[in-house]
Amino acid sequence: MIDDKTYGPWAVIAGGSEGVGASFAEQLAGAGINLVLIARKPGPLDAAAARARKCGVEVRTLALDLLDADALPAIRAATDDLDVGLLVVNAGANSYGHEFVTGDLDRFGDVLALNITVPMALGHHFGARLKRRGRGGVLLVGSLAGYLGQADLSVYAAAKAFSRIFAEGLWLELREHGVHVLELVLGVTRTPAMERAGLDFDLPGLNVADPDEVAREGLRHLADGPVRIAGGNERAAEQRSGPDRAALVAGAHEASRRLMGRAR
């Protein structure tokens, strides 16, 4: 059970309308923690809020694009009067999977903004508040992609590598102030975003995690930062972390092509 004295009475979830973000919302609401849910699409956002309110908690919603220049001011305006004990940053699925040298540089810039600039801005604002408060948590949702360079995902993978290292540094800075920081590293997870990307979850050998399970794992291990590999992917992360980068990157690339039926 999540500690509502440490992480409540309010939690802010960026990307809280579907998938793992919606699972965080439901589980935190079930623990009696009020929510501020932020997402781009009003429909799924309102549906997630309605489910959370069935637990008897208050829910505020912000339907906005986190890449907009006025996103952070809007978030501050909606939360400055609240005692926020937990920040969850789950908004970062904009992978824009294209070969870098022929892709759209502006789109790659959006990937960096969503996965680096936005978590930095939110972590800076709420991290300072939590430090003054003397308790609470910051949970950043990461990806196994950040452990290894990948063709057609080079910018996204690099951004997720930044996220993990950033979480480790923030963990060091805030732990003496009673604030827990955790990077929850996801592998393949059965979410609407991955379904829209066309991923075949039934591919042989694919370890597919459930959103509710990985959200539960993250909340259970919030105090065990700085990094938690979710969904039983510890071995995969270890295999991607060796010193022979050329062999690791090339080998993983070929394995991915075979798995996706694109081997030459």
**CATH label of the domain that carries residue 158:** 3.40.50.720
Question: What pLDDT does 109 receive?
Answer: 94
Examine residue 264 and state whether it is found in any structural domain, yes or no: no
Asked if residues 181 and 195 have their Cβ atoms less than 8 Å apart, the reply is: no
Examine residue 187 and state whether it is found in any structural domain, yes or no: yes
pLDDT tens profile 148-191: 988 888 999 999 999 999 999 999 999 999 999 999 999 877 66
| pLDDT score of 206 more than 80 | no
The mean per-residue pLDDT over the stretch 77-86 comes to: 98
Question: What pLDDT does 134 receive?
Answer: 98
Of 179-188, 201-210, 240-249, 253-262, the range with the highest mean pLDDT is 179-188
Instruction: Provide the annotated active-site residues.
Output: 156
Lowest mean pLDDT among 71-75, 118-122, 150-154, 163-167: 150-154
Q: Which residue has the higher pLDDT, 204 or 43?
A: 43
pLDDT category of residue 38 using cuts at 50, 70 and 90: very high
Asked if residues 85 and 135 have their Cβ atoms less than 8 Å apart, the reply is: yes
Percent of the chain with pLDDT over 90: 72
Domain count for the chain, please give it: 1
| pLDDT score of 220 more than 80 | yes
Q: What is the mean pLDDT of the chain?
A: 90
Q: Please give the Cα distance from 182 to 90 (Å, whole number).
A: 12
| pLDDT score of 264 more than 50 | no
| Backbone dihedral region for residue 198 (phi beyond 0: left; psi -120 to 50: alpha; all else: beta) | left
Range of the domain at 251: 4-259
| pLDDT score of 98 more than 70 | yes
Asked if residues 253 and 150 have their Cβ atoms less than 8 Å apart, the reply is: yes
Q: Which residue has the higher pLDDT, 263 or 205?
A: 205
| pLDDT score of 34 more than 50 | yes
Residue ranges with strand state E in the chain = 10-14, 34-39, 59-63, 84-89, 136-143, 179-186, 227-229
Q: Which residue has the higher pLDDT, 199 or 177?
A: 177
Residues in a beta bridge with 140? 89, 183
Examine residue 66 and state whether it is found in any structural domain, yes or no: yes
Question: What pLDDT does 256 receive?
Answer: 66
Examine residue 214 and state whether it is found in any structural domain, yes or no: yes
Asked if residues 170 and 180 have their Cβ atoms less than 8 Å apart, the reply is: no
| pLDDT score of 198 more than 70 | no
Question: What pLDDT does 150 receive?
Answer: 85
Question: What pLDDT does 153 receive?
Answer: 87
Examine residue 246 and state whether it is found in any structural domain, yes or no: yes
Q: Please give the Cα distance from 30 to 53 (Å, whole number).
A: 9
Residue ranges with strand state E in 20-176 = 34-39, 59-63, 84-89, 136-143
Cis ω on the peptide bond leading into residue 226 (within 30° of 0)?
Answer: yes
Percent of the chain with pLDDT over 70: 88
Examine residue 216 and state whether it is found in any structural domain, yes or no: yes
pTM: 0.91
Examine residue 103 and state whether it is found in any structural domain, yes or no: yes
